[in-house]
Structure 1
Amino acid sequence: MLNSLKPALIGQPQLKALPPLSLYIHFPWCEKKCPYCDFNSHQVKDRSENSKNGQGFDEARYINALIADLETELPRTWGRQVHSIFIGGGTPSLLSPEGMDYLLSAVRARVNLEPNCEITMEANPGSVEAEKFAAFAKSGINRVSLGIQSFQDAQLKALGRIHNGNEAKRAIEIALQHFKSVNLDLMYGLPNQSLEAAKADIETALSFKTPHLSFYNLTLEPNTYFANFPPKLPNEDEIDAIFEQNLALLEAAGYRRYEVSAYAKKDQECKHNLNYWRFGDYIGIGAGAHGKVSLPDKITRQVRERHPETYMQAMESKGNALIESKEIDAKDLPFEFMLNALRLTDGVDTVTFGERTGLPLNVVAKGLDEASKKGLLDSNPNKLKATEQGLRYLNNLQEMFL
């Protein structure tokens, strides 16, 4: 089937149905900026400074800006059901229980949430408190993602984390008591990390039997402290050995790798992230948030003001914090789709390409043929799916659709 496809000229997208819709809420503050982090996060001020909650940020002001921001998106998404919410950061667990409850109540009053909507909150183990987590659960949070990274104190110190190994374990125990689903974020390829140390981290994580694990390689991102002052990391062969070892441990414990860096027990995949990877739609509100919303004849992207203060000022003075709102050019849609979909180990059905881009599959015929010949793409005519080699060299595979 792949060889029978002929390239076509790319015209305007025509969507027969709109994809699922999610909501992303960005909380831009954290207690300490990690040296590897390139996310839009800002270290909180001294806790004694001008803050009702003692955290150096005006919680009420920011939440009011978020609610106003959400309202600006309602005309474009009216009547569509939201099937997942992800509150990321930064460290959203720095919010007060009262603030979280007010925010989620405001969201429910403005958008139609799917029954049993997945609502995820990211949390730093160093900011976990039992009473606070109980209150977050009562507010509607049903999934928490803990930024563990490692259980070893020396590694955590090298990564600039504010928690230690014992605090990480305690945070997991508290989270499991209060939330339906818990994800653990773990890194590998850490400064001076040995094969044995990486194994110990995974084995400790597995002992908690959480339904979901994220396991990803530490990379030196531009404009981070580590990029300017790189630590000594394991070489490529050592990193490969760590990955293969820990992949085997994860699979033996009943976790299936369903995305490049994501592992889940049966039916415990993250709905929100699956929507991203399947090229679904998402409203993005908050400082620096990105959004993607489809209409029948076009697909649009938005970007908000990045700095928290500038974002709040824009919402208060203009009622809008957008710094960019544009239609995605039809010629860029194939790459954007493949950039996401090929991360999934099961790939996606070929029909999904047309459903989500509004374009015929033959616009990517050249890339499909080249990738298949190089052994990077599965030859199943009903799937767009990377082979094991394709997942290993994912960047090369994705670039074939630029």
Structure 2
Amino acid sequence: MLLLAVTNLLTLPPLSLYVHVPWCIQKCPYCDFNSHTAKGELPERDYVNALLQDFETSLDAIQGRKLHSIFIGGGTPSLLSPSAYERLFAGLRQHIEFSDDIEITLEANPGTFEQDKFTGFRQTGINRLSIGIQSFQDEKLKKLGRIHHGEEAQRAVGMAFTAGFTNINLDLMHGLPNQSQDDALFDLKTAIALKPTHLSWYQLTIEPNTVFYSRPPVLPEDDALWDIQEAGQALLAESGYQQYEISAYSQPGRQSRHNLNYWQFGDYIGIGAGAHGKLTLLEEGAILRNWKTRLPTDYLNPAKPFEAGNRILTEEERPLEFMMNALRLNDGVEAGQFSQRSGLPLSSIADAVKEAQHQNLLSTDSQKLQPTRKGSLFLNDILALF
């Protein structure tokens, strides 16, 4: 593989691990993730074996590094057993050191909650849960194709606390079919009352290759969406949840370390069907992106490679890639981090930064790359300059 040199990659960013578990009980009509309906018993033993073999293919590129965070997403990762994760973590530790304060997140759906199972998850070392609630209203959940009910969602959060989890994220959506502002605020108020440490509050978007794309539901008008967003942000702020990213709100000090590493252009290995990764290769002076084969049957086939493809980011691509992530953060990033993570001098983006500042899209603080309030609303306008 030909590696193209970059100018100044002298430091390594934190290293995270993303693990993809591709199975769900049923596919939601809005979902464009790599998820597949589970049929019969899941091949979890074979899948964990494959995950560990997949991880071993990255060892040469990460020698001497520690894992800063692990995020297990899907699909529905909570369909696997605690023993599967116990074996996965034991296998990983044979090859890489976990940092003392590692954050390990498991995505879970309320429809798969069992108290003993989630107590077992906590005992494996998983210390953060991300619960995919989306709404607490049965009518909305039915339209979203979710398998749980509102009361189940509330019980699931209680079970998570009982299991010993003290760091819990709840995923909620707004802009749902026929959703009013009162509906959206009801969901937020219900979530806040459960006292999670983190809330991810996303606007529903219609993505290609989904049921909603082929049969679009009736969604709120743009003015109504704006009102929902404004009212929801005010409620979250009043309740002690600080917005630190476009859709992420946390209690003080409870930001997602894993997602912060993404947004700060950190490194991450991706293992599992359809997983993506990004690695800084100091010796070669390069930034590598790669992705794994999508179909679980192919991923589990020993005759086929785990990796579906890879590429080196060119010098022309790196500024946009960096800014696409960094500008999701309300506080942006330190200006010097651009050079550290991209290997390019700040002078390479000076003209674009100056123009964005002229348009009041970027802060004029020379020590930061930070969107203004206007810039956060018109992020694509900033990115078009890079």
1:134 aligned residue (91, 109, 119): 119
Aligned twin of 2:236: 250
1:302 aligned residue (290, 296, 321): 290
SS in 2 for 1:331: coil
Residues 144-185 of structure 1, C-alpha deviation per residue, up to 9 Å, x if partnerless? 000000000000000000000000000111112221300000
Root mean square deviation, CA, Å? 1.2
Aligned twin of 1:263: 249
Aligned twin of 1:61: 46
CA distance in 2, matches of 1:399, 1:145: 33
SS in 1 for 2:206: coil
Residues 36-95 of structure 1, C-alpha deviation per residue, up to 9 Å, x if partnerless? 0010000111x3xxx3xxxxx211111110000001111110110111000000000000
Counterpart of 1:307, as a letter, is: L
SS in 2 for 1:145: strand
After TM superposition, give the deviation of residue 365 of structure 1 in Å: 1.7
Q: Kindly report which structure 2 residues correspond to 1:3-402, keeping only aligned pairs within 5 A, or say none.
A: 12-45=6-39, 47=40, 51=41, 57-177=42-162, 178-296=164-282, 297-313=285-301, 316-317=302-303, 320-401=305-386
In 1, are the aligned partners of 2:278 and 2:288 still within 8 Å (CA)?
yes
SS in 2 for 1:317: coil
CA distance in 2, matches of 1:232, 1:376: 32
After TM superposition, give the deviation of residue 396 of structure 1 in Å: 2.0
Counterpart of 2:326, as a letter, is: A
SS in 2 for 1:110: coil
Counterpart of 1:299, as a letter, is: I
TM-score normalized by the length of structure 2: 0.97
CA distance in 2, matches of 1:334, 1:21: 20
CA distance in 2, matches of 1:101, 1:166: 30
SS in 2 for 1:22: strand
CA distance in 2, matches of 1:299, 1:180: 36
1:309/1:13 CA distance change after superposition, 3 Å: farther
CA distance in 2, matches of 1:399, 1:127: 42
In 2, are the aligned partners of 1:13 and 1:298 still within 8 Å (CA)?
no
Counterpart of 2:240, as a letter, is: G
SS in 2 for 1:243: helix
Counterpart of 2:136, as a letter, is: F
CA distance in 2, matches of 1:221, 1:317: 33
* Structure 1 gap ranges (5+): 1-9, 52-56
SS in 2 for 1:63: helix
Counterpart of 1:40, as a letter, is: N
Aligned twin of 1:4: none
Aligned twin of 1:5: none
After TM superposition, give the deviation of residue 295 of structure 1 in Å: 1.4
Aligned positions, number: 380
TM-score normalized by the length of structure 1: 0.93
SS in 1 for 2:303: helix
In 2, are the aligned partners of 1:14 and 1:298 still within 8 Å (CA)?
no
1:114/1:91 CA distance change after superposition, 3 Å: same
Counterpart of 1:159, as a letter, is: L
Aligned twin of 1:54: none
Residues 194-253 of structure 1, C-alpha deviation per residue, up to 9 Å, x if partnerless? 011111100000001111000010000111110110000001100000010010000001
Counterpart of 2:242, as a letter, is: R
SS in 1 for 2:32: coil
SS in 1 for 2:70: strand
SS in 1 for 2:279: strand
Structure 1 segments, 4+ long, off by >4 Å, are: none
CA distance in 1, matches of 2:198, 2:334: 24
CA distance in 2, matches of 1:365, 1:355: 16
Residues 342-372 of structure 1, C-alpha deviation per residue, up to 9 Å, x if partnerless? 0000000100000000100111122212211
After TM superposition, give the deviation of residue 11 of structure 1 in Å: 7.5
